[in-house]
Structure 1
Amino acid sequence: MTEWYLVWVEGLRGPEPQKWSSDALWGQLGRQDVIVRFPLADREADLSLDQLARRHPVPRE
């Protein structure tokens, strides 16, 4: 079963949300630009990035 994650990465203009699947996650684990990764519940997997970013905002330092 595929698991989904909302991932905040450092972008050119600040933090950017991305949605990653567990199928592609292993190739991304070594990335240095990842700020935080939130596992998504099944009901959240189909939400848009905007909706997910509001539910799981990037942590403030």
Structure 2
Amino acid sequence: MVLVLKKGASKKDIEAIEKALYKEAPSMGFDAKKYNGKVPLKEDPLTIQTKLRDEWERDIS
């Protein structure tokens, strides 16, 4: 879609173009709230995180 805004356009024309632009813009975002509390954990999240970070520092040999 091409929208042309000519020099000297009225405020009404500008508002109509803005309305057309924002109407077609897809909603970009992530609703994290719908996943809140969905993963049952058996341990404290901080303990899990510490274990995962320690894996990089352990000697595997």
Task: Judge same fold: TM > 0.5, yes or no.
Answer: no
Q: State the TM-score, normalized to the length of structure 1.
A: 0.22
The structure with the greater share of residues assigned to helix is: 2
Q: State the TM-score, normalized to the length of structure 2.
A: 0.22
Relative contact order higher in (CA < 8 Å, ≥ 6 apart): 1
